Chain A
Amino acid sequence: MNAPTIEYAELAPLITIFGAAVIGVLIEAFVPRKVRHPVQVAVALLALVAALVQVILLAGTDIVAAVGAVAIDGPALFLQGTILVLAIISIGFFAERRLEAGGDAFAPAASSLPGSEEERVLVRERMLQTEVYPLALFAVGGMMLFPAANDLLMLFIALEVMSLPLYLLCGMARRRRLLSQEAALKYFLLGAFSSAIFLFGMAFVYGYAGTLRFGEISEALTANVGQDGILLAGIGLMAVGLLFKVGAVPFHSWTPDVYQGAPTPVTGFMAACTKLAAFGAMVRLFYVAFGGMRTDWQPMLWAVAIATMLVGAVVALTQTDIKRMLAYSSIAHAGFVLTAMVAADSSATAAILFYLATYGISTLGAFAVVTLVRDSGGEATHLAKWAGLGRRSPVLAATFALFLLAFAGIPLTSGFVGKLSVFTAAIDGGAAPLVVVGVIASAIAAFFYVRVIVLMFFSDPAPEGPTVAVPSLWTAVGITLGAAATLLLGIVPGPLLDLAQQASQFVR
């Protein structure tokens, strides 16, 4: 019996993040309340930056670590790096304290009853809640592990480590707390279901292959010809779990409610990073473990991709709340990524990586803008209140318009290059009809993005309209970075495309 070998150097980014999360819990217990907030923010940021540096130093690594449980290769490192960059910006939005009179976007104590005396006292005392930082770190750790998981068990653990903190974070909004708590409950219940289904599918696959490792599953496909029923059931059930996480139709129904109810900084963080991690895991599972069964799972993904694009785009048309609209738009985008996934080759992987990175940064920026448009009731997320924003604060409205145009995939924005990459991969992989559907969905989606621009620029501001709050430096920098990246990657996408191309090989 040999002791397992652990490649500490290659796993350093993960260890850093999880370590910092545990330290965060200890801080929560032992550091006096007065200095807790700055200490927590500092620890979280330091850990994220340190992990990012480690990821950059690891670039080019291509090994299977921890006795085959974790793969540290191009796609994993690319996504880990992207998640860390987005998380650093997100933590900045979490720590924003100039927008709310009472403090930040989170309830002073998530355990206090909404509307109770206890809550009023806490608000009066200007208490700030700091559990969000260690929770966010745990979630980031899970997200980094998810696309790197190279066996079924690790995949499931990562899924849970990523999801559980998010369920909590969703329920912590300072305003409209009941809506927020309802969102958290919905997310938790549906998420628990999908995890169970995922686990069920894992059991089938294990029963078929007799192993948990992706590489060995792939070998087993060729050995056990003729017993495919149990394997197909396993693949199908596991796909349900993963499709739930990326928000694909028909497993998307949680998305709008959760996006709307969660505190907006959390929504941005989730929308950007969860999708990244889940797609990374899904692509690895389907390409590395189930690559040999391609012809069996492709039709299923075809159907899901078509439904996802169309439902996301069409239902978004009817939304009147900006956060819900962005939620449906994120569903449509999951469909666009799926079109490339169907193609199933390394150019598709590169396209997906590029798309996810650019989409993540634009999404984060867009939700950050939403946090700034406020009236007496907190954020003014109803679309009607955005009328005439272009006259009140042209710069902010123009920035938001840029993000919307990127989502619509207009040239000279990163969204266009992303769309071009995934559609090219899809046509290359013989999925031209999917691209036709994608184009139709893009046209429908363009309509509601444009509608918001019409509201902002061509309507007169309402007298009782919201004001645009002046954020602290951190949020301003975050939004500026997002806008600059969106524009720059639209004009000169070469370097990032290159990086995605180099990072597109899975270790087997």
Chain B
Amino acid sequence: MTTLIALPALGAVLTALVPSGRGTLAKQVATGAALVTLVIGALISIQFLFDVDMGVQEETYEWIPEFGASWALDVTGISLALVALTVLATPIVAVAMWHEAEEEQRDPKAFFALLLAVEALTLTAFLAQDVLLFYVVFEAMLIPLYFMIGMYGGPQRRYAAVKFLLYNLVGGLAMLAAVIGLYVQSVDAGNPSFFLPDLVALDIDTTTQWWLFIGFMLAFAIKAPLWPFHTWLPDAAAEATPSNAAFLSGVADKVGTYGMIALVLPLFPDASRDAAPVIVVLAVVSIIYGALLAIGQTDMKRLIGYTSISHFGFIVLGIFALTSQAATGATFYMVNHGLSTIALFIVIGFLISRRGSRQVDDFGGVQKPAPKLAGVFLFAGLSGLALPPLATFLSEFLVISGTFLRYRPAAIIATLGIVLSALYILWLYQRTMTGPVRPAVEGMPDLRTREVAVITPLLALLLVVGFFPKPLTDAIDEAVGPTLVEVGVEQPEPLAPVAEHVEEGTGR
């Protein structure tokens, strides 16, 4: 597992050492490193999903013994899903950046080095079994991302980068106070430690739990933007390069929702139980608010940014519904939302690079000169609105049905969010792809080979995971169960077995 993290880290260093001006070499080194990481990630996944022994095991090394902090890594079903997403997404984003880089005035070397650095840190966050280690990488991730947004992208990128960093830093510092508070609890209990199982075993009184819960949740609610802490995301999504925006909202921000399900629920069961109604309300607001604002956007990247807020609302809703069905759905949703958002951002990147504009109004009738591009766009869009049998459908269904068991009104309102998602995606398609061909769109080239290479794996994955979700959902289910037992709420009977085929109900 350390290998999995060391590879991209080493790749980042190697990429940074490539002499300036040799952009192509830097791209090759970085993409190579990302692909090797993918292979290792695949080995771990195979062992975990299909019980084939690949020699992967949990690892614990002393790191800062003075604080009882260790370099402790372990795979659970939840982390596996996200590790798989990360190792898959990074090479795709790297290749997508190849031709975006040609349009940048800057040497792309730094972007690729930073991308790999973020990959290493993200993987560490998903595997960490030590709260201090998790915190360290959670915060350290901000710096490379900040440089990625600030150095490459649109005219307002400096503003977006600083906003991104400050928002997340404030959340991170609140979490730092809570991390220290948690540690002091373990000191008082006579066993100073940052090791997650040790901390979960602590018996913390409810008032203290509340304070710590607020510290952690603030950080995660900013990271995985939950209304009203979301305002940095649309700016970052709009100003960053398309592939960077894809990576940011598709992969990096999942650390926030992962933190909610893997740290907050087991560490602060009482507070989570008590706060669930509040968080559920915020999540529902996020779903509707994000969707409504997405409908109103004229800037395509900002539009996708708002759809992400809506989808993150679904994920948070699933986590805090506190039913195993919804939690499984939410975790599964993280993966699928990652895939579909990356696909959407990348396709929009293709459009922008052809036209030099992010405005919806500058397009129209694209499907005539570039039918393949339009087809890919529609496919990615439909995965975004959770059309069966694409992977996103199942996760959305699980979240809503799982929520329905406990918070009926929330589930009903969330369903409205699905209707709205159909609206913004299809309307976006209609405005850009159909209708009379705009003069500026005349002669727009269709997909190039490299673009096909980038987008095909994503779309294929969405289909495969949609048709064969069972190994992954089972693995997630297994991990979610104990977490919810920890929270100690009654599990209602599920409405329907998970894998049973469901009547189409997406409101289309």
Confirm or deny: B36 has a beta carbon within 8 angstroms of a beta carbon on chain A: no
B124-168 contact mask (Cβ, 8 Å, vs A): 1 or 0: 000000001001110110110011001100000110011001100
Given A412-B140, A439-B177: A454 and B64 interface contact (C-beta under 8 Å): no
Residues on B with C-beta less than 8 A from A497 are 64, 66-67
Confirm or deny: B180 has a beta carbon within 8 angstroms of a beta carbon on chain A: yes
Residues on B with C-beta less than 8 A from A435 are 177, 180
Given A454-B158, A454-B161: A410 and B139 interface contact (C-beta under 8 Å): yes
Given A411-B139, A423-B176, A450-B162: A494 and B63 interface contact (C-beta under 8 Å): yes
Which of A419, A423, A432, A446 has a CB less than 8 Å from the CB of B169? Answer: A446
Q: Is B139 a contact partner of A428 (Cβ separation < 8 A)?
A: no
Given A416-B136, A450-B162: A432 and B181 interface contact (C-beta under 8 Å): yes
B63-82 contact mask (Cβ, 8 Å, vs A): 1 or 0: 11111000000000000000
Confirm or deny: A469 has a beta carbon within 8 angstroms of a beta carbon on chain B: no
Confirm or deny: A193 has a beta carbon within 8 angstroms of a beta carbon on chain B: no
Residues on A with C-beta less than 8 A from B485 are none
Confirm or deny: A121 has a beta carbon within 8 angstroms of a beta carbon on chain B: no
Confirm or deny: A349 has a beta carbon within 8 angstroms of a beta carbon on chain B: no
CB interface residues, B 176-222, toward A, < 8 Å? 176-177, 180-181, 183-184, 187
Residues on A with C-beta less than 8 A from B65 are 494
- In the bound complex, what is the Cα–Cα distance between A432 and B67 (angstroms)? 18
Q: Is B66 a contact partner of A498 (Cβ separation < 8 A)?
A: yes
Q: Is A424 a contact partner of B140 (Cβ separation < 8 A)?
A: no
Confirm or deny: B170 has a beta carbon within 8 angstroms of a beta carbon on chain A: yes
Q: Is B66 a contact partner of A494 (Cβ separation < 8 A)?
A: yes
A491-504 contact mask (Cβ, 8 Å, vs B): 1 or 0: 01110011001000
Residues on B with C-beta less than 8 A from A443 are 166, 169-170, 173
Confirm or deny: A405 has a beta carbon within 8 angstroms of a beta carbon on chain B: yes
Residues on B with C-beta less than 8 A from A428 are 184, 187
- In the bound complex, what is the Cα–Cα distance between A442 and B150 (angstroms)? 22
A451-477 contact mask (Cβ, 8 Å, vs B): 1 or 0: 100100111000000000000000000
Residues on B with C-beta less than 8 A from A423 are 176-177, 180
Confirm or deny: A58 has a beta carbon within 8 angstroms of a beta carbon on chain B: no
- In the bound complex, what is the Cα–Cα distance between A110 and B430 (angstroms)? 77
Q: Is B136 a contact partner of A412 (Cβ separation < 8 A)?
A: yes
- In the bound complex, what is the Cα–Cα distance between A503 and B184 (angstroms)? 22
- In the bound complex, what is the Cα–Cα distance between A432 and B184 (angstroms)? 11
- In the bound complex, what is the Cα–Cα distance between A405 and B147 (angstroms)? 13
- In the bound complex, what is the Cα–Cα distance between A31 and B181 (angstroms)? 61
Confirm or deny: B447 has a beta carbon within 8 angstroms of a beta carbon on chain A: no
- In the bound complex, what is the Cα–Cα distance between A432 and B188 (angstroms)? 15
Which of A408, A411, A427 counts the most chain B CB atoms within 10 A? A411
- In the bound complex, what is the Cα–Cα distance between A416 and B140 (angstroms)? 10
Which of A440, A457, A501 has a CB less than 8 Å from the CB of B151? Answer: A457
State the Cβ distance, A59 to closest chain B Cβ, in Å.
18
Confirm or deny: B174 has a beta carbon within 8 angstroms of a beta carbon on chain A: yes
State the Cβ distance, B292 to closest chain A Cβ, in Å.
31
Residues on A with C-beta less than 8 A from B62 are 494
CB interface residues, B 214-239, toward A, < 8 Å? none
Residues on B with C-beta less than 8 A from A424 are 67, 180, 183-184
Residues on B with C-beta less than 8 A from A405 are 143
Q: Is A450 a contact partner of B166 (Cβ separation < 8 A)?
A: yes
Confirm or deny: A251 has a beta carbon within 8 angstroms of a beta carbon on chain B: no
Question: Which residue of A is nearest B136, CB measured?
Answer: A411
Residues on A with C-beta less than 8 A from B151 are 457-458
Given A412-B136, A428-B184, A454-B150: A439 and B64 interface contact (C-beta under 8 Å): no
Q: Is A458 a contact partner of B161 (Cβ separation < 8 A)?
A: yes
- In the bound complex, what is the Cα–Cα distance between A84 and B181 (angstroms)? 36
- In the bound complex, what is the Cα–Cα distance between A492 and B64 (angstroms)? 7
State the Cβ distance, A471 to closest chain B Cβ, in Å.
22
- In the bound complex, what is the Cα–Cα distance between A412 and B150 (angstroms)? 21
CB interface residues, A 425-445, toward B, < 8 Å? 427-428, 432, 435-436, 439-440, 442-443
- In the bound complex, what is the Cα–Cα distance between A494 and B67 (angstroms)? 9
Q: Is A411 a contact partner of B135 (Cβ separation < 8 A)?
A: yes
Residues on A with C-beta less than 8 A from B147 are 457
- In the bound complex, what is the Cα–Cα distance between A421 and B116 (angstroms)? 30
- In the bound complex, what is the Cα–Cα distance between A435 and B212 (angstroms)? 13
- In the bound complex, what is the Cα–Cα distance between A419 and B177 (angstroms)? 10
Q: Is B161 a contact partner of A442 (Cβ separation < 8 A)?
A: no
- In the bound complex, what is the Cα–Cα distance between A135 and B150 (angstroms)? 45
State the Cβ distance, B154 to closest chain A Cβ, in Å.
12
Q: Is A439 a contact partner of B173 (Cβ separation < 8 A)?
A: yes
Confirm or deny: A185 has a beta carbon within 8 angstroms of a beta carbon on chain B: no
State the Cβ distance, B49 to closest chain A Cβ, in Å.
32
State the Cβ distance, A499 to closest chain B Cβ, in Å.
10
Question: Which residue of B is nearest A440, CB measured?
Answer: B173
Q: Is B176 a contact partner of A420 (Cβ separation < 8 A)?
A: yes
Given A411-B135, A427-B181, A494-B63: A439 and B176 interface contact (C-beta under 8 Å): yes
Residues on B with C-beta less than 8 A from A416 are 136, 139
- In the bound complex, what is the Cα–Cα distance between A459 and B177 (angstroms)? 34
B43-64 contact mask (Cβ, 8 Å, vs A): 1 or 0: 0000000000000000000111
Question: Which residue of A is nearest B177, CB measured?
Answer: A439
Residues on A with C-beta less than 8 A from B136 are 411-412, 416
- In the bound complex, what is the Cα–Cα distance between A420 and B136 (angstroms)? 11
State the Cβ distance, A244 to closest chain B Cβ, in Å.
29
Which of A439, A440, A458, A494 has a CB less than 8 Å from the CB of B158? Answer: A458
Which of B142, B161, B177, B184 has a CB less than 8 Å from the CB of A436? Answer: B177
Which of B157, B173, B180 has a CB less than 8 Å from the CB of A427? Answer: B180
- In the bound complex, what is the Cα–Cα distance between A412 and B157 (angstroms)? 25
- In the bound complex, what is the Cα–Cα distance between A428 and B67 (angstroms)? 13
Q: Is B66 a contact partner of A501 (Cβ separation < 8 A)?
A: yes
Closest 6 CB pairs of A and B: A411-B136, A497-B66, A411-B139, A458-B158, A439-B173, A411-B140
- List 20 other contacts, CB 8 Å, given A424-B67, A443-B169, A446-B166: A405-B143, A410-B143, A416-B139, A419-B176, A423-B176, A427-B181, A432-B181, A435-B177, A439-B176, A440-B173, A442-B173, A446-B165, A450-B162, A450-B166, A454-B158, A454-B162, A458-B150, A458-B151, A494-B66, A501-B66
